[in-house]
Amino acid sequence: MTAACHPAPSAESAADLPVVALVGRPNVGKSTFLARASRKFVETANAPGTTVTLERRRIHARGRDAWLVDLPGTRSLDDVPAGDDPFWHLLVEAAPDAILVVADAGDLARHLPLAIACRDLGLPVVFAANLTDEASKRGIEIDAGRLGQLLNGPVHATCGRGGLGVDDAVASAVALAAQRQAVSRGTRSPRGSGPASIYPYGADLELRRAASELTEDHRSLGAAAAADPLWDAVHAGVLSPRGAATIRLAAVLNPYRWSAAASWAGQSERHRDVPEPMADRVARWSTSPWPGIPAFIAVSVLAFLSVLIVGGVLAAALTSVWTATVSPALAAVVPAVIPIPVIANAVLWSLDGGLLGMLSVGIPYVLTFYLLLAVLEDSGYLTSAAVLMDRAFGVLGLPGRAAIPVLAAAGCNVPAIYGTRVLRTRRERLIGAFLVTLVPCSARSAVVIAAVAPFAGPLAAIGAFGIVMGVTVAAGLGANALIPGRQPALVLELAPLRAPVPRHVAAKAWWRFRSFVVQATPIMLAGSLVLGLVYEAGWWQAIANAIGPAVGWSLGLPAIAGVAIGFAFLRKELALQLLIAFAAIELGHAAALGELMTPAQLFVYAIVTSLSIPCIATLAALRGELGGRAAAGIAGSTLALALGTGAVLARLLGIA
């Protein structure tokens, strides 16, 4: 089998190829099937609140070309695994000619109901009993012949990670899809002969009635039926009337499916006694209070430190290389190409400052965190952490799985925003992203320490962090109360722990990193250009004059402090550097921070800087992940919180 390395087909021939849909419960290794069959790993972009993307790959299996479509992991056809639509909508959209059901060979009783539901659709079904290596470690072997008799279809024992049986299973599904396509081409509603029904007479009667309704003409059914996607699927020839009826009556049929599944699993599994695998023991420990909680703390500290230390070292190295090589070249070329100094300098802000910002945030912090997150996801540990932290994060309206991005935000907010993809609903992602933007990243922590500790003492710096964290928790409680909806109840299958596959981890991290670069780079460049113009044209002084009275009255700070807070939008590290630069221009001589503001003012300045509008890279990530409105809402809320907190502190400290 080979991937799309064949000559590009004509549009017509590609459209005519048979389609095989990959269906299975979450974490069963479907994507590995797609990767093996197409010889390329894939990471799909499916996250709550986004449009679900169906990954479709052209493959060549034993002399036949076909499309292989990867669908999100689902527990039943009426489940809503990602996005807003039930799974069967996605299946109908894929319009498969055959279904390849990928299941866990070690847990047939819970995976067969989905296979039976797929079989009920009247489409050819090939069953891959996957993860046979893990099943074998648990003392379970599958009698594929017996299971094939019960399912009335081909059954393949497979091991996606090792590639065992994958090509055979895919080729078998492609052959059945091609066969069905040849038979049904030209017919309006394909009707598979189908296996014997497992349902009792009463349920069968209901099915026949529902199927009959789905074959009726629209005009006799009225307006409600006109918007019935099941009716559309039947009349488009994607589903048979009986197949569509089994979706409509899923609630009636499911208990019979589970009962049949338990019986068939019992008939096709062979057990032998084996000691409990180490991975299962570690998985049990990971969710027990002991040693689960100390292990979680260790993993969290490791996540934070690796983002901070590895990111910091890489950032320093990349910055020094950039400033030694690219910056001088740009400084020589840009003024030569652009003769107007103000514009040339603003363009330098954009190209030199903006690209350096991407380089010093993107590669070191973002890529490091993505690699770490991919390891935690691929190993299955993320679900253990989610369960342990569920109660603590529940008061903030978040599930426990929010712990990893929120803690990692202390390193850098940008990857943590993308990390909120581990959350399942848009509401959770909004609250999670809001909290992430309030957690002081390493740059903001540096500002707090540098602005407060030398002038007001280390205890004041710790107090400043305490205030920021208190505001963050209060904001979480407020967001949980104000954002409509409530946290869904937790029903979570705990994934077994597995050794992460380096190729999967690398591909997943790279795919996410690429999205970050594509989304954030234009915004970083444009934002830097605008701020560069404001600075180089001297407009910042006019802005300082305009906002001066308001900044003085509300926060008790000098006007240039307000401008510096605004400019820190580009990069939070600039909050102090720019303040010193502005002060030098304003005072006519270089001035230390202590000359410019009192310790109380610096305390307020540090807290307002830390809480106010996230930096431009974070804003770009927010916009890319949650949309412009949500990004603006979160930025506005952080600004309001920062100004409110600053105003209260200024009055308590007697500076306003």
Q: From residue 107 to residue 136, what is the string marking binding to another protein with x (rule CB under 8 A)?
A: x-xx--x-----------------------
**24 token code pair:** 């299975």
Segment 265-294, which members bind another protein (CB under 8 A)? 283-284, 287-289, 292-293
Residue placing its CB nearer to another protein in the complex, 27 or 215:
27
Residue placing its CB nearer to another protein in the complex, 288 or 545:
288
Residue 394 Cβ vs another protein, minimum distance, rounded to whole Å: 8
- Which among 203, 186, 204, 189 is positioned nearest to 241, based on CA atoms? 189
Residue 203 interacts with another protein (CB under 8 A): yes or no: no
Residue 391 interacts with another protein (CB under 8 A): yes or no: yes
Residue 76 interacts with another protein (CB under 8 A): yes or no: yes
- Residue 58, φ and ψ in degrees, nearest 5: -85, 130
Which SS3 state, helix, strand or coil, does residue 502 take?
A: helix
How many residues can be counted in the chain? 656
- Which among 12, 41, 239, 227 is positioned nearest to 122, based on CA atoms? 239
Cβ-proximal residues to 20 (8 Å cutoff; 6+ apart), any chain? 66, 67, 68, 69, 96, 97, 98, 99, 100, 170, 173, 174, 177
Residue placing its CB nearer to another protein in the complex, 250 or 506:
250
Segment 562-591, which members bind another protein (CB under 8 A)? none
Residue 24 interacts with another protein (CB under 8 A): yes or no: no
Residue 491 interacts with another protein (CB under 8 A): yes or no: yes
The span of 52-60, 237-245, 380-388, 634-642 binding another protein (CB under 8 A) equals 380-388
Cβ-proximal residues to 237 (8 Å cutoff; 6+ apart), any chain? 184, 187, 188, 189, 190
Residue 549 interacts with another protein (CB under 8 A): yes or no: no
Residue 283 Cβ vs another protein, minimum distance, rounded to whole Å: 7
Residue placing its CB nearer to another protein in the complex, 259 or 320:
259
Report the alpha-carbon distance of residue 245 to residue 240 in Å, rounded.
Answer: 8
Residue placing its CB nearer to another protein in the complex, 2 or 267:
267
The span of 52-60, 251-259, 323-331, 464-472 binding another protein (CB under 8 A) equals 251-259
Cβ-proximal residues to 625 (8 Å cutoff; 6+ apart), any chain? 47, 417, 418, 420, 421, 429, 433
Residue 138 interacts with another protein (CB under 8 A): yes or no: yes
Residue 27 interacts with another protein (CB under 8 A): yes or no: no
Buried b (16+ CB within 10 A) or exposed e, 420-444: bbbbbebbbbbbbbbbbbbbbbbbb
Residue 479 Cβ vs another protein, minimum distance, rounded to whole Å: 20
Residue placing its CB nearer to another protein in the complex, 199 or 540:
199
Report the alpha-carbon distance of residue 562 to residue 370 in Å, rounded.
Answer: 34
| 98-104 and 125-130 strand pairing | parallel
Residue placing its CB nearer to another protein in the complex, 400 or 532:
400
Residue 58 interacts with another protein (CB under 8 A): yes or no: no
**461 token code pair:** 């710096």
Residue 159 interacts with another protein (CB under 8 A): yes or no: no
Q: Residues in contact with another protein, total (CB under 8 A)?
A: 36
Q: What is the DSSP-derived secondary structure letter of residue 388?
A: H
Residue 146 interacts with another protein (CB under 8 A): yes or no: no
Q: What is the DSSP-derived secondary structure letter of residue 483?
A: S
Residue 111 Cβ vs another protein, minimum distance, rounded to whole Å: 10
* Binding-site ranges for another protein (CB under 8 A): 75-76, 79, 106-107, 109-110, 113, 138, 251, 254-255, 258-259, 283-284, 287-289, 292-293, 383, 386-388, 390-392, 394, 400, 489-494
